[in-house]
């Protein structure tokens, strides 16, 4: 899924898990096997991202540049010391953010055992909610009859926060540009 590598944040993890739960309800997958595999995949995916950030991140900050400063690394470390656990758990539920949170935790050198425990909790909750919602809704006749529409709706709901943020930033940029021209 999208948490496996920093370069794949666009994959719709929520909707894929939901769809898998629905397909499981329709008899295409064994729900328990799927559950175990998805939790393991979620935890391993974020673990890979953490280690990519952990190995590459500090090297990026060795030399101060115009955009990458050592002080940013220190701020990241401080943030993850204070808020790392809840960030790792909550980021699971925010598309795009869930891809970068473990990477940044690695860059910030978040304590790995702490990261792993919160990673497991977040992965467990994320998979549990979306898989079993899919399984529950997969037993509803309307969902069975309109499966593709339901999956598209879930994908749309997953990307609404992204669209909102993009529009918000564009409006803020426009406002700043207008203010600077005045």
Closest to 13 in 3D by CA, of 94, 89, 85, 88: 94
* pTM more than 0.85: no
- Contact by Cβ (8 Å): 17, 137: no
Lowest-pLDDT range, 15-19, 28-32, 69-73, 130-134?
69-73
- Contact by Cβ (8 Å): 130, 17: yes
Query: Can you tell me whether residue 7 is helix, strand or coil?
Result: coil
Greater model confidence, 155 or 47 = 47
C-alpha distances (whole Å) from 83 to each of 5, 35, 103, 109, 114 are 23, 28, 15, 13, 11
pLDDT at 38: 96
pLDDT at 66: 67
Cα torsion for 42, 47, 50, 54, to the nearest 10°? -170
Q: Residues 14-59: pLDDT tens digits?
A: 888 988 998 999 889 999 999 999 999 999 999 999 999 999 877 7
Q: What average pLDDT does range 83-91 have in this prediction? A: 88
pLDDT at 46: 93
């Amino acid at each position: 899924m999208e948490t496996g590598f920093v370069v794949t944040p666009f994959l719709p993890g929520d909707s894929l898990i939901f769809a898998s739960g629905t397909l499981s309800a329709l008899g295409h997958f064994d729900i328990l096997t799927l559950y175990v595999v998805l939790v393991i995949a979620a935890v391993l995916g974020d673990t890979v991202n953490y280690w990519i950030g952990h190995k590459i991140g500090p090297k990026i900050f060795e030399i101060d540049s115009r955009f990458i400063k050592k002080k940013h690394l220190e701020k990241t470390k401080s943030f993850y010391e204070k808020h790392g656990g809840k960030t790792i758990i909550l980021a699971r539920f925010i598309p795009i953010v869930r891809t970068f949170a473990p990477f940044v935790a690695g860059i910030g050198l978040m304590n790995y055992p702490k990261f792993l425990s919160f990673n497991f909790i977040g992965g467990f909750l994320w998979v549990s909610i979306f898989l079993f919602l899919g399984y529950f809704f997969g037993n509803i006749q309307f969902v069975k009859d309109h499966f593709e529409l339901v999956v598209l709706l879930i994908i749309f709901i997953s990307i609404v926060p992204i669209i909102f943020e993009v529009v918000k930033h564009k409006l803020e940029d426009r406002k700043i540009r207008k203010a600077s021209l005045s």
